Amino acid sequence: MIGPTLGRYFGRRVLTAILAIFMVAFAIVLLFDFLDMVRANVDRPSFKWTVAFLASFCRIPAFSEQVLPFATLFGVMTALLGLSRKLELVVARAAGISAWQFLAPAALVAAAIGLFASLVYNPVAASLKEHSEALSLSLIGDSPRAVDGSREVWLRQSSDEGEAIIHALRAADRGLHLAGVTIQTFDQRGLFRQRIEAASADHEGDHWKLERVLIHEAGAAPRAEPTWRMATRLKREQVGESLAEPDTVSFWALPSFIEAARNAGLPAFQFELQYQLLLARPLLLVAMVLIAATVSLRVFRFGNIGRMILGGVGAGFVLYVAGEVARGLGGAGVVPPVLAAWSPAVIASSIGFTVLLHQEDG
């Protein structure tokens, strides 16, 4: 049985390697995202370097969650190859410690990282992502262009006055705040009534509150209004389901968000999938440990290190593709979100366990 001192040593080596790779990936993504934002928006009158950096920095944590499984995979590979190069694994085996025993600390570290990422890191990342959306809105100013990389949004609504098509350059607060708004309104017969342009729009229950409005009507000169209210039948849940991104809703808020969408008669496949993915994250990271072990436990002096590394990269790529396919099917409701979220982790851990069992125990 592995002792507590040796177990802490192996666990610390694995944790250090995972965090190092994760931080390097975080810094690289942040650098490229910030440079891209500067390139696209530096010519805006409202552009500020600090705002651009904060907007980029606040949205990277949500992106970096997707890097965590690969940071775990390559971190465990790095740690095991380092232990093998120094023959520490050979000594451990000679002392009667099996591969399962010195992999246990790595699996515990991966599971703990997965729990922390789902329960703590994800809510912080979701909050920062929402804050990033608000900061990005300030970069627009009065410019008619959208922020580079932003997701323009469209909504269609009906009221007693007729239908309206709403277009916005950017949305924040799960679609309840819009910027760069253009609204085309039609009467009950479907005939065009007016075109409304506004700097921003806020959903306030039964109406949209528009700020800095310019109204164009057929046969009349445009007129400006400081504020304008337009009736709507869209509920907060409907707007949120249409425009909110799953990674802007924290782990703790997802169950209530899903329940509210169901009560409103709306599908919530993407949010159910996000919730199940967060629940399955600890198992997925443990699967990464097993897969890394299958390609990294060969004694270093036997050579073929490059082949082992390529094997790990290939396994990570295949798992990524399988996960994206399952995510697409689950988000569209083709397969149950529970199955789409858990199947990659279960299959990967089963394959890793089987291969490792064959290598170690024949």
**pLDDT of 61:** 93
Residue 296 placed within a domain: no
176: tokens are: 């309840």
**Alpha-carbon torsion (279, 254, 123, 33), positive or negative:** positive
Instruction: Please give the full DSSP string across 152-186, using - where no structure is assigned.
Output: -EEEEEEETTEEEEEEEEEEETTTTEEEEEEEEEE
CA 114 to chain centre: 14
Chain position carrying tokens 């890191």: 121
Total count of domains within the chain: 1
**pLDDT of 147:** 45
**CA pair distance 100, 353, nearest whole angstrom:** 10
| CA nearest to 3, candidates 74, 97, 134 | 97
Chain position carrying tokens 């279960």: 346
User: What DSSP designation does 198 have?
Assistant: E
- What type of residue is 8? R
Residue 163 placed within a domain: yes
**pLDDT of 310:** 78
In the chain, DSSP finds a helix count (H) and a strand count (E) of: 11, 6
Residue 167 placed within a domain: yes
Residue 48 placed within a domain: no
**CA pair distance 208, 228, nearest whole angstrom:** 8
Cβ burial of 261 (10 Å; 0-12, 13-18, 19+) is: buried
| CA nearest to 208, candidates 188, 181, 223, 228 | 228
| Per-run averaged pLDDT (10 residues), the chain, 362 residues | 81 94 94 87 80 90 91 91 79 78 91 96 91 76 47 79 85 80 87 89 88 86 89 79 77 85 75 93 93 75 64 80 86 88 91 82 60
161: tokens are: 């006055």
- Show the domain range for 215: 153-246
Residue 114 placed within a domain: no
Residue 6 placed within a domain: no
Residue 111 placed within a domain: no
Residue 277 placed within a domain: no
For 95, 154, 232, the CA distances from 135, given in Å and listed in that order, are 57, 21, 27
CB atoms within 10 A of CB 23: 12
Chain position carrying tokens 């198992």: 283
